[in-house]
């Protein structure tokens, strides 16, 4: 096998990997290699600014097309988990939402053992990642790669949704990513000049001509090369040909909440009993690898409407950050969508609108495990949806909040009928049954390599893998728990901070 040597080797060119490659290669004396299993480009739909166009990318060449195990908490349903397999990763196929969520979600990380990972510590890195013209420069970025354009002029339905949220008692916010996060705001999106802006568009493509940056696409990582407790690099293949790449300083996993723990396990780093059960030698017994899997769980209330179909392209949509009860932290996100969504993301019709409600800090925890020792076999993904009854209780509260918004004018006057769950679903038992039959992923798995200092933590607060020198993880897998927003903006900040840490706490 041929091999090449760099200072840093990054596995995964998704949101985090693009940030890391761009930031680390700013130093011309540092050689950086970025490995991506997917291609450098994808279908034309990847450029569409319409979030619903993402449906057309599922199962395509740019999707890993994962799925969960059967979930008892949702009627034994198997849930599709699309994840990006292309430069930009999931930021190239997601709903393009740019949202930080409430600071309490980040402060909770520190209380769970992630020392130094709170909202105040992350704020400079949120700001570093973005350019948000017209917003408060004390909390929003002024010169970062991700450009946040002004919200498009809302259409009549969107304006009615925002007004209804205010009438229902939700505080109107000028900037949902600003100093206050609880209330109703206009959703920000990663759309620039009428086109999707992925992390590859913002961070990576502008610097591809750097002589010290090598991007290897269609490079499928098989295992980490660990020698005497130190990660030396990565074994990968291109078109069936095995190769190795050597990291003189550090290897960084940025393959996401699925890819990063999967590669650790394939390399013998994880729970010893599980590794032996699939025939793999144990390199390091690290029981937290693949544990703590969690995901936002969501459902919707859907209304018929005589409104004309929403025009394709960027649109203003209202979102609400709320609480399931007075003594809870903000744990619900409601989003208005100008289409009649089918349950479990099976489609959308133009003749109506939906109020999506999501539980943003579920108590349920699942696992990622190997099916076998074959690197090409998809891992077993069990998010354990709604296995903790507290999650269903809070999701019922979300359903009630969504219905309250749907009954409030001026939005109520634009609806012809409640299509889902329907007027016959009213009492507690019926609501719980509806949620078990419709609840699904909001596409935000995290937590499988969490930050901490206890025995189940996978990385320390500097993101170094606890059992192996020369190895870090920097992506959504390190999040101890979810935050009250889609995770792409959070991953940008994690990766920005990771690049900073690597410059100041080198594990060479």
Query: Which residues participate in catalysis according to the annotation?
Result: 444
Considering only CA atoms, which of 477, 483, 503 is closest in space to residue 16? 477
Residue showing tokens 């544990």: 291
| DSSP states along 3-53 | EEEEEEEEE--SHHHHHHHHHHTTSTT--EEEE-SSBS---GGGG---GGG
What number of CA atoms fall less than 13 Å from residue 185's CA on the CB side? 26
CA 5 from centroid of its chain's CA atoms: 31
The Cβ of residue 493 has, within 10 Å, a number of other Cβ atoms equal to: 23
DSSP structure class, residue 294: B
Q: Residue 1 class from Cβ within 10 Å (0-12 exposed, 13-18 middle, 19+ buried)?
A: exposed
Residue 235's contacts (CB-CB under 8 Å, 6 or more residues apart) are 1, 221, 222, 223, 224, 225, 242, 243, 244
CA gap 451, 462 in Å, rounded: 8
Tell me whether the omega of the peptide bond preceding residue 161 falls within 30 degrees of 0, making it cis: no
**Residue 497 corresponds to which tokens in the numbers above?**
């901070």
The SS3 of residue 136 is coil
Question: What b/e sequence results for 119-136 when a residue is b if at least 16 CB atoms lie within 10 Å of its CB, and e otherwise?
Answer: bebbbebbbbbbbbeebe
Question: What b/e sequence results for 152-191 when a residue is b if at least 16 CB atoms lie within 10 Å of its CB, and e otherwise?
Answer: bebbebbebbbbbbeebebeebebbbbeebbbbbbbbbbb
CA gap 363, 365 in Å, rounded: 6
Q: Residue 305 class from Cβ within 10 Å (0-12 exposed, 13-18 middle, 19+ buried)?
A: buried
Phi-psi region of 455 (alpha: psi -120 to 50; beta: other; left: phi over 0): alpha
CA gap 68, 85 in Å, rounded: 18
């Amino acid at each position: 096998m041929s091999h090449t040597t760099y200072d840093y080797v990054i596995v995964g060119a998704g949101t985090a990997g693009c940030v890391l490659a761009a930031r680390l290669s700013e130093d011309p004396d540092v050689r950086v290699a970025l490995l991506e299993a997917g291609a450098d480009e994808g279908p034309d739909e990847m450029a569409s600014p319409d979030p619903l166009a993402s449906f057309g990318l599922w199962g395509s060449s740019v999707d890993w097309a994962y799925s969960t195990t059967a979930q008892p908490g949702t009627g034994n349903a198997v849930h599709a988990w699309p994840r990006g397999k292309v430069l930009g990763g999931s930021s190239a196929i997601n709903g393009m939402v740019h949202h930080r969520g409430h600071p309490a979600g980040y402060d909770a990380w520190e209380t769970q053992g992630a020392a130094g990972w709170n909202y105040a510590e992350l704020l400079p890195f949120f700001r570093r990642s973005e350019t948000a013209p017209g917003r408060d420069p004390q909390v929003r970025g002024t010169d970062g790669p991700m450009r946040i354009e002004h919200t498009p002029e809302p259409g009549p339905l969107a304006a009615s949704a925002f007004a209804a949220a205010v009438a229902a008692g939700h505080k109107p916010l000028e900037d949902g990513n600003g100093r206050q996060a609880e209330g109703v705001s206009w959703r920000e999106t990663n759309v620039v000049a009428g086109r999707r802006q992925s992390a590859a568009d913002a961070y990576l493509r502008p610097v591809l001509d750097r002589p010290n940056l090598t991007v290897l696409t269609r490079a499928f990582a098989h295992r980490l090369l660990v020698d005497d407790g130190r990660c030396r690099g990565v074994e990968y293949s291109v078109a069936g040909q095995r190769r190795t790449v050597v990291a003189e300083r550090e290897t960084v996993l940025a393959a996401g909440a699925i890819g990063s723990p999967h590669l650790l396990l394939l390399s013998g780093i994880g729970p010893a009993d599980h590794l032996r059960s699939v025939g793999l030698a144990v390199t390091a017994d690290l029981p937290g690898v693949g544990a703590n899997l969690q995901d936002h769980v969501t459902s919707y209330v859907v209304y018929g409407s005589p409104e004309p179909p929403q025009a394709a392209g960027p649109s203003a949509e209202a979102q609400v950050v709320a609480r399931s009860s007075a003594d809870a932290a903000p744990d619900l996100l409601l989003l208005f969508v100008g289409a009649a969504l089918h349950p479990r993301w099976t489609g959308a019709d133009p003749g109506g609108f939906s109020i999506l409600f999501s539980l943003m800090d579920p108590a349920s925890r699942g696992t990622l495990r190997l099916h076998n020792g074959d690197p090409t076999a998809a891992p077993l993904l069990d998010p354990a949806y709604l296995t903790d009854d507290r999650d269903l209780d809070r999701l019922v509260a979300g359903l009630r909040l969504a219905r309250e918004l749907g009954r409030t004018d001026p939005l109520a006057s634009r609806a012809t009928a409640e299509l889902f769950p329907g007027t016959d679903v009213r009492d507690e038992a019926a609501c719980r049954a509806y949620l078990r039959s419709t609840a699904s992923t909001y596409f935000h798995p995290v937590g499988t390599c969490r930050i901490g200092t206890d025995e189940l933590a996978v990385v320390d607060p500097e993101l170094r893998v606890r059992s192996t020198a020369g190895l870090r993880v920097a992506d959504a897998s390190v999040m101890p728990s979810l935050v009250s927003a889609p995770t792409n903006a959070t991953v940008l900040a994690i990766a920005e901070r990771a690049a900073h840490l690597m410059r100041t706490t080198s594990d060479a």
